[in-house]
Amino acid sequence: MAIKIYLLFISLFLLSTVSSAQEIDQAIWKDYSPAFVVYNR
């Protein structure tokens, strides 16, 4: 049970890290934001 909670915590952490990284990329590459939207879907 502890392993499942641990994996869930890691997955949530990775998701938050990836989403924040995408926001940073969008801020840097504003001209390519439509490409990021398509990529996210």
pLDDT tens for the 41 residues of the chain, in order: 788 988 888 888 877 777 777 777 767 666 655 555 555 55
Q: Which domain holds residue 15?
A: 2-40
Could you tell me if residue 31 is left (phi over 0), alpha (psi between -120 and 50 degrees) or otherwise beta? alpha
Q: Which residues contact 26 (CB under 8 A, 6 or more apart)?
A: 33, 36
Q: Which amino acid is at 5?
A: I
Say if CB 36 and CB 25 are below 8 A apart.
yes
Q: Residue 41 carries which DSSP code?
A: -
pLDDT given at position 23: 75
pLDDT given at position 1: 77
Q: Give the predicted TM-score (pTM) of the model.
A: 0.43
Tally the domains of the chain.
1
pLDDT given at position 9: 87
